[in-house]
Amino acid sequence: MASPAPDAPLSPSASPSAATPAARRSEAVHLALAERIRSGALAPGARLPTEKDLGAEFGVSRPMVREALARLKADGLVISRQGAGVFVAATPSRLAFDMPTDQDVVRARQSLAHIFELRTLVEIGVAELAARRRRPKDLKAMSAALARMAAAVEAHGDGGRDDDAFHGAVAAATGNPMMRDLVGFLSKQFSESRRLSWSPEQHARGRTQLLQDEHQALYDAIAAGDPAGARAASFQHLSATAARLDIPLGVDIACDLAPTFAAAGTPGKSPTR
């Protein structure tokens, strides 16, 4: 299929509805452009339309366009050239292991639910081990990431990287290098699902403070050496995050795990809040 001219405007066929929440509209732009790049409709080296033109095409604001472009850059699909614009990367990045990346995953809510199921099964086990084996340096790393996320909540900023860092520190606290490396690899899949929680819409609704409270509860349980509490806090964090993003967590997982975690004691409180 012939590629469009580098400066040609994109087809508006995938324009998100104006009624769609801001975070979803930004993600719709991200997904539409990613699909055009992966399908070859936008060839390697092609210049993307300007932020203004993309905003007009998709019916979104320029900040939403910038957020979508930032995600494409993080995916390795586009590059920026100062003064020239944004271009499709010569060789768009692909993971060696053919697991769907988040720009593919969020195309369908059910597929994103699969990511949350995987996160749930992995992260609650990691949290339990971290509570059993954490060292002072692990708690220090978690606490530092928590402080940065608190600043992001206050400033309505993007705490996604620090969210990743926090969960990475929890994985490191297991003392199992294979667990740490697995979580590091899966971070490529998990990262975007975490960043959805730091969108302007989530800030506006006060939901990032809820997210921060959940992270703090997980830290408190790990710091207190409470494995059951850490598992419960991790499950509560993931199930609440899925609910805030309107993502269906598997009913079988929720029904099987929730009663167990509800019976867990309240995690001990850390003086670092």
According to CATH, where is 1.20.120.530 located in the chain? 102-262
Q: Which residues pair with 227 in a beta bridge?
A: none
Phi, psi angles (nearest 5°) of residue 97: -90, 125
pLDDT along the chain (273 residues), means of 10: 38 43 77 87 92 92 88 85 88 47 50 80 95 97 97 92 93 93 76 78 89 96 97 94 78 50 46 36
Rounded-to-integer distance, Cα 146 and Cα 44, Å: 39
pLDDT of residue 250: 61
Amino acid in the structure at residue 178 = M
pLDDT of residue 196: 78
pLDDT of residue 109: 60
pLDDT of residue 13: 43
Output the CA–CA distances (angstroms, integers) from residue 259 to 52, 255, 256, in the order listed: 50, 7, 7
pLDDT of residue 54: 94
Q: What is the DSSP string of 30-76?
A: HHHHHHHHHHTSS-TTPBPPPHHHHHHHHT--HHHHHHHHHHHHHTT
Output the CA–CA distances (angstroms, integers) from residue 168 to 144, 179, 186, in the order listed: 12, 10, 10
Q: Which residue bears the tokens 């104006």?
A: 18
DSSP 17: P
pTM tops 0.85, yes or no: no
According to CATH, where is 1.10.10.10 located in the chain? 12-88
Domain 102-262 sits in CATH 1.20.120.530: yes
Domain 12-88 sits in CATH 2.30.40.10: no
pLDDT of residue 146: 97
